Structure 1
Amino acid sequence: MSSSRERTKLHVALALTTLVAGSLAAVVPASGAAAATRPGGWNDSAYRGQVEVVRTPDGPADPSVLTGTVFVDRDRDSVHDRHERGLRGVVVSNGRDVVTTDARGRYRLPAYDNMTVFITQPAGYQVPVDDYNIAQFHYNHLPEGSPELRYGGIAPTGPLPDAVNFPLAESRVTESREQHCVIAGDLQPYDKEEVGYARKGAIDDLSRRDDYQGCGTLFIGDVVGDDLSLYPDVRELTKLTNGPARFLPGNHDLDFDAETAEHSFDTFRAQLAPAYYSYDVGDVHVIALNTVRYPCTPEVDNADGLRPQCDNPSTRPAYNGRISDDQLTWLERDLAKVGRDKLVVLASHISLLNWADEGSPIHQVDQVRKVHELLEGRKAVAVSGHSHSIENMKTGDLAKGWKDLFGVEGLPFPHITAGAISGDWYSGAITDEGYPVAVGRDGGMPGVLTLDVRGNAFRERFTVTGQDDDVQTRLGLNSPTYREWYAARQAWNDDQQGPEPVLGDPLVLDREDLTGRTWLTTNFWMGSTGSTVTVKLDRGRAQRATRTQEMRGEDQLIGAEWSDPHAAAQQLVNGGSVADRSMHLWRYELPADLAAGEHRAVVTATDSYGRRFTDVLEFQVVEQH
């Protein structure tokens, strides 16, 4: 997603509260050491290879049909040898048609120019990965190559090959009913410095985990920030991870000089992955969608008049959240091959629906209701990126914009916005570890989402960059003094005349703060409907805090009163977005008669699965400043 990308980098940490965090429940742990450094780790077992493309001087007997074989590559040389058996029942597609292989592993597909042919990896088998851990399961067919594009696009592939054969290796880790699927939102480096931030941050964290070798990592768009020449740098990052890496495209992965949507992701397709595809692990069917249409056009995208930015594609090209007709046809046919007992993970860059942009027809998907219909009766979860926010939206949740724009009456299954590795576009102070704090527009932190799956049931967890999994909350104090400073600082940032407004110690409250309403705030990043937050003040009994957004169809609550004070106090000083709203913020009003002196608040956040996380906030009350 686009941003103002404020570039201020301060090499000091702004510490506004003192937090002591500890979990009271076990969360599925991440490994403390890189699998690549131990015997039997990912690098010892990874199946490396490529798709086999067969050409002869005579070419195929029928150039209108592509044929090939999906086979078990016993010697792992990526070549279909005579003794290697074909595999029955594997799904193969050209992006429109969907077929399954016969008893000998053979398939036949209609051929057309500018198609990507790919297989759906079956559970119990692994497609090969290259030296950078990127999954190899597709072939691009574009005989004349892309039109002239700044970043190259797809080189001419020439005539249709005689055969495209897809190798597989047997795999216990993809067969297991227990999977850990890493969903990585918005890596989005704009330059090599930001590539370095990602390497020191979330990628270093992933290099120390070994729990995702089966499902791997799915980077859900905005893999880079417009500069597609950084794709090789991204490949160097995935080389450090411990499982197969897959990608889907975002609006900052576009060939912006493409004149039609047909070629707008050619460079992405050439260097990383098909624009859309699917794969299986355990009892999970993962669908990676392309939800970015560029350039959008008035006929296709603005027939209802809600997207005027699409009216001038030749002079002012823009993007829109939309799924192409071919892709919708493929999606329906793909799902027809999937057992009703499977968990369907529907991944995209632009969300089917999200909360941060709930009133925007551009930043959500036009055909959301059609997609919901296709998944009716299935166990499913949608995951997405784009908005650089963390949003754990449960079945039945509703935002005002969803109903107003799309007629959605409530979510039919969970939708999760997965946050971003880049956080708030690598903004803010630089940590001691060498990457920016990058606190998000909702007060969320940079990190990655993991779906922990057993059978066809899942639990979601968010891992903050550089932290253990029990770090799930941030506490703050929203006082009248803070709200007055917030308004003054915003005005000064816009004009910068006169002295800079300075917020005093946010952990010291006076009597006027308490009588003027002060809330202890808890930003529970994966908090959702079904979550609770309690506050135990000093030796008193635990009291329930109130969620600011109930997700019952209300509009967004915006402003200093509804902000995350810990996040906003950093952002207004160091740059970046301002957390002036959040769907995962809880507030507890401090008593107006709270005695002067030191106080200690113990906050317990409990998620919808009963997992508990505890933080502590210590603060002081004085009669007057």
Structure 2
Amino acid sequence: MAVAAVATVAVAGSTAAIVVAPGALAAAPKPATWNETAYRGHVEVIRDKGRQADRSVLTGKVFVDRNRDSVSDPQERGLGGVLVSNGRDVVTTDSHGRYRLPAFDNMTVFITQPSGYQVPVDESNVAQFHYNHLPEGSPDLRYGGIAPTGPLPAEVNFPVVKSRLTQSQEQHCVIAGDLQTYDKEEVGYARKGAINDLAGRTDYQGCGTLFIGDVVGDDLSLYPDVKELTSLTNGPARFLPGNHDLDFDATTPEHSFDTFRAQLAPAYYSYDIGNVHVVALNTVRYPCTPDLDNADGLRPTCDDPVNQPRYNGRLDENQLAWLERDLAKVDDNKLVVIASHVGLLNFADEGSPIHQVDQVREVHELVKGRKAVAVAGHSHSIENMKTGDLVKGWRDLFGIKGLPFPHITAGAISGDWYSGSLTEDGYPVAVGRDGGRPGVLTLDIKGNSFKERYTVTGQSDQVQTQLGINSPTYREWYVARQAWNRTRDGAAPQLADPHVVTRADLNGRTWITTNFWMGSTGSTVKVSIDGARAQHAVRTQQLRGEDQLVGPEWSDPHAAAQQLVNGGSLADRTMHLWRFQLPTDLAPGAHRAVVTATDSYGRQFTDVLDFQVVEQR
């Protein structure tokens, strides 16, 4: 009979015993072979074929690059049925792999990688599947933007190779939120943390990693450093833009992501893996303007784009037209993954019209009837929102009556912007605004079905919960410390040992709290005290249309106790917190709470919290 192991894990300044399923502590997988097998290459741009190109039409082909030299040799066949787009129109290659697209200045031409084939990656593992056309180049931008491309090429040809990895019906897609490095020191934190974890994983070679915006923190000169990080990963790296990837000196939205486009990827695009169609959207409009973004009066920060430029969560008309045309060419049985930086909707900012997407209902309508999931970053929170979930802000702002399909906010590699003390591995604890910890989301896909999992940086996938004690003593300290933080008058209030509970605490309502990061509607949490029969804990946010519950009573005490002292965000609300009220008649002495969290798929995670009851402090 296999015996479960008990691993002691350091959790943000405390120690918890995690009961790990048999086999979970097995040896690490064999070294990855991605670097030896990756298809490295580039898009083929043919400038002159002895004729003047028609400047109103771009032509070219998608070809199977048998010798992997990125050159369309005569003997290499074209690949039919591949989607090619200029960011507005979408066409399909003919049986010879050829396409024709309307051409215009400042367009990005890209293909949708077909399942069973792989586009090339560069030496940094960044996927190569697009060509920017901007004849005169970007306006004068601090970080360079796009260099002049000159006249329209005679042809732009897109190489691919056959791939069993991308053909497989089983995929593991890493969704990486908010890398958001502001300087080289933070690049080092990312390298020691989540990137080191990804370097040790080999399960995502087909789907790769999608970095969903805020790749850097305003300093676009760090893109080469980011590509050095992706060179350490084991699969294609793709990116979509966030509000900290902007060319802030661009005066119009048409050029606000020129440096991102030049260095990393199109502003929006799609690709296929297995039976999955991934759509990477640009949901950041900068500078936002009063005519489009504040026509309803809800976004007054958009009223002065010249003197006070701001951004808004919005899709432009070209992108919406592209999305409709792209999805119209996708088989109905595919799983559609809609990825963005600013989420279509989220819980943390549920009352904000800026930090959600204006056209959320239009996107929902375009995906209607399909199997779909939306993934996003931006809010530095972890949110697993299921079909039917609803909060007040979504209904009030957008008329949403319940989510038509799951929406997941993927957390952040940077966590709470690399704040807090350093771990022994050299990266910050960075506990987030919802009490979540830095990490990455993975969509584990079979066919057109998926299961989501969140991997905390530096931890096993078995680490899914964070326990705390919310007592009157803690709540009184919370209020006092918050007030002191504003004034800094006198000595700072000190929190007594949070794992010591007095008789007065029990009589005043004390809860064992469980922050279950991927917890959602359909999840359960049970608590057993000292081996007694386990009883259900209660989820604080039911997501049945209520407003956010905010304050010390609804906080994650383990996270907030650190944040109020060390600075950063404050975990005073979360959609994935469960509470279990301790009995008032617990005897003085040592006690143990065994907490079993079960997700919506039936996967169980067990955590242990030891505490002590005393008559008085």
TM-score of the pair, normalised by structure 1: 0.96
Segment drifting more, 207-216 vs 485-494: 485-494
Helix, strand or coil at the partner of 2:291: helix
Q: CA deviation at 1:492?
A: 1.1
Matched-pair contact (CA < 8 Å) for 2:53–2:153: no
**CA offsets per residue over residues 317-345 of structure 1, 9 Å max, x none?**
00000000000000000001100000000
Name 1:238's counterpart in structure 2.
230
Q: 1:57 to 1:282 in 2, by over 3 A?
A: closer
**CA offsets per residue over residues 403-426 of structure 1, 9 Å max, x none?**
000000000000000000000000
What letter matches 2:18 in structure 1? A
Helix, strand or coil at the partner of 1:301: coil
What letter matches 1:277 in structure 2? Y
Name 1:21's counterpart in structure 2.
18
Match of 1:366 among 358, 371, 387: 358
C-alpha separation between the residues in 2 aligned to 1:341 and 1:551?
29
C-alpha separation between the residues in 1 aligned to 2:522 and 2:193?
31
Match of 1:414 among 402, 406, 409: 406
C-alpha separation between the residues in 1 aligned to 2:198 and 2:420?
23
Aligned: 1:320 with 2:312: yes
Match of 1:32 among 28, 31, 35: 28
Matched-pair contact (CA < 8 Å) for 1:385–1:417: yes
What letter matches 2:553 in structure 1? E
Q: 1:16 to 1:115 in 2, by over 3 A?
A: closer
Helix, strand or coil at the partner of 1:77: coil
Aligned: 1:469 with 2:466: no
What letter matches 1:47 in structure 2? Y
What letter matches 2:304 in structure 1? N
Q: CA deviation at 1:35?
A: 4.0
Matched-pair contact (CA < 8 Å) for 1:30–1:209: no
Q: How many pairs align?
A: 608
Name 1:589's counterpart in structure 2.
581
Name 1:302's counterpart in structure 2.
294
Matched-pair contact (CA < 8 Å) for 1:563–1:582: yes
**CA offsets per residue over residues 435-488 of structure 1, 9 Å max, x none?**
000000000000000000000000000000000000000000000110111111
Matched-pair contact (CA < 8 Å) for 1:124–1:171: yes
Matched-pair contact (CA < 8 Å) for 2:49–2:154: no
Structure 1 segment 266-285 matched on structure 2, within 5 A: 266-285=258-277
C-alpha separation between the residues in 2 aligned to 1:30 and 1:376?
42
C-alpha separation between the residues in 2 aligned to 1:173 and 1:545?
42
Helix, strand or coil at the partner of 2:559: helix
C-alpha separation between the residues in 2 aligned to 1:232 and 1:111?
30
C-alpha separation between the residues in 2 aligned to 1:295 and 1:407?
26
Q: 1:14 to 1:57 in 2, by over 3 A?
A: closer
C-alpha separation between the residues in 2 aligned to 1:195 and 1:236?
10
C-alpha separation between the residues in 1 aligned to 2:317 and 2:163?
35
Structure 1 segment 321-360 matched on structure 2, within 5 A: 321-360=313-352
Aligned: 1:69 with 2:66: no
Name 2:182's counterpart in structure 1.
190
**CA offsets per residue over residues 64-111 of structure 1, 9 Å max, x none?**
100001000000000000000000100000000000000100000000
> Is there any run of 5+ residues in structure 2 with no aligned partner, and where?
1-9
What letter matches 2:423 in structure 1? T
What letter matches 2:463 in structure 1? V
Match of 1:613 among 605, 608, 616: 605
Q: 1:99 to 1:317 in 2, by over 3 A?
A: same
CA RMSD of aligned residues (A): 1.4
What letter matches 1:219 in structure 2? F
Aligned: 1:490 with 2:487: no
Matched-pair contact (CA < 8 Å) for 2:53–2:152: no
Q: CA deviation at 1:59?
A: 5.0
**CA offsets per residue over residues 13-55 of structure 1, 9 Å max, x none?**
996543111245989x99935744xxxx101110000000001
**CA offsets per residue over residues 502-522 of structure 1, 9 Å max, x none?**
111110111111001100000
C-alpha separation between the residues in 2 aligned to 1:16 and 1:46?
40
Aligned: 1:445 with 2:437: yes
C-alpha separation between the residues in 2 aligned to 1:624 and 1:157?
75
Instruction: Give the percent of matched residue pairs that are identical in Structure 1 and Structure 2.
Output: 77
Structure 1 segment 98-109 matched on structure 2, within 5 A: 98-109=90-101
Match of 1:220 among 185, 200, 212: 212
Name 1:523's counterpart in structure 2.
515
Matched-pair contact (CA < 8 Å) for 1:59–1:161: no
Matched-pair contact (CA < 8 Å) for 1:606–1:613: yes
Segment drifting more, 493-502 vs 603-612: 493-502
Q: CA deviation at 1:275?
A: 0.1
Aligned: 1:390 with 2:382: yes
Name 2:7's counterpart in structure 1.
none
Helix, strand or coil at the partner of 1:113: coil
Aligned: 1:534 with 2:493: no
Structure 1 segment 38-53 matched on structure 2, within 5 A: 41-53=33-45
Match of 1:138 among 130, 135, 150: 130
C-alpha separation between the residues in 2 aligned to 1:474 and 1:270?
41
**CA offsets per residue over residues 572-614 of structure 1, 9 Å max, x none?**
1111101000000000000111110000000000000000000
Q: 1:15 to 1:610 in 2, by over 3 A?
A: closer
C-alpha separation between the residues in 2 aligned to 1:166 and 1:60?
21
Q: CA deviation at 1:526?
A: 0.3
C-alpha separation between the residues in 2 aligned to 1:138 and 1:490?
50
Match of 1:430 among 411, 422, 427: 422
C-alpha separation between the residues in 2 aligned to 1:304 and 1:127?
43
Name 1:568's counterpart in structure 2.
560
> Is there any run of 5+ residues in structure 1 with no aligned partner, and where?
1-12
Helix, strand or coil at the partner of 2:292: helix
C-alpha separation between the residues in 1 aligned to 2:309 and 2:481?
36
**CA offsets per residue over residues 349-378 of structure 1, 9 Å max, x none?**
000000000000000000000000000000
What letter matches 1:32 in structure 2? A
Q: 1:529 to 1:31 in 2, by over 3 A?
A: farther
**CA offsets per residue over residues 370-405 of structure 1, 9 Å max, x none?**
000000000000000000000000000001000000
What letter matches 1:222 in structure 2? D
**CA offsets per residue over residues 133-172 of structure 1, 9 Å max, x none?**
0000000000000000000000000000000000001000
Matched-pair contact (CA < 8 Å) for 1:24–1:612: no
C-alpha separation between the residues in 1 aligned to 2:194 and 2:251?
35
Helix, strand or coil at the partner of 1:219: strand
What letter matches 1:506 in structure 2? P
Helix, strand or coil at the partner of 1:573: helix
Q: 1:144 to 1:16 in 2, by over 3 A?
A: closer
Matched-pair contact (CA < 8 Å) for 2:173–2:208: yes
Q: 1:280 to 1:56 in 2, by over 3 A?
A: same
Of structures 1 and 2, the one scoring higher in RCO (CA 8 A, sep 6+) is 1
Helix, strand or coil at the partner of 2:600: coil
Segment drifting more, 82-91 vs 489-498: 489-498
